[in-house]
Amino acid sequence: MTLEILTSEMLMPVNHGFFTRRGGASSGVFEGLNCGHGSSDQTEIVAINRARAAQAMDVAPDQMATVHQIHSAKVVTVEEAPQTRGIEADAMVTATPGLCLSILTADC
C-alpha cells in the first residue's frame, strides 16, 4: 500500500508532507504509519515506517530530525539530525539544506 501524503500549496516551494496512517507496516492498536519511537510498537516496524516516510520525502532516514515531544513551547535549532536524539522540545527550525524536520501528531 502506498503512503497517503497531504500537501498545501500555501507551503510551496518547501518540500513538505502530512502523512496519514495509510501505507504503514504497523498492526494492532498501532495499525498504519506509526513513526513514534516512544510507543510500545515494535522497534523494527517503527524503523520500516520511518524509512517509508523518508523515502516519500526523498531524504535518507538518518536525515530525519525528531525530538521527544513534551507539550511545551520549546523550540530548538537543528543543524544535523543526530543532534536531536534525546532532546525534549515541541518544535524545530533549521537552515541546513536536505535536513527533514519531522514532528509526530496523533489522530486520537
Q: For all residues of the chain together, what is the average pLDDT? A: 91
Residue 108 within any structural domain of the chain: no
Q: Would you say residue 107 has pLDDT above 70?
A: no
Q: Render pLDDT for 30-65 as a digit per residue (tens, 0 to 9).
A: 999 999 888 889 999 999 999 999 999 999 988 999
Residue 107 within any structural domain of the chain: no
Domain of residue 88 covers 5-101
- Among residues 10, 52, 17, 45, the alpha carbon closest in space to that of 31 is found at 45
d(C-alpha 78, C-alpha 94), whole Å: 5
Sequence-separated (6 or more) residues with CB below 8 Å from residue 65? 78, 80, 81, 83, 84, 92, 94, 99, 100, 101, 102
Residue 80 within any structural domain of the chain: yes
Residue 68 within any structural domain of the chain: yes
Single pTM value for the model: 0.86
Query: For the chain, how many structural domains are there in total?
Result: 1
- Give the domain CATH number at 13: 3.60.140.10
Give how far the C-alpha of residue 10 lies from the chain's centroid of Cα atoms, to the nearest Å. Answer: 20
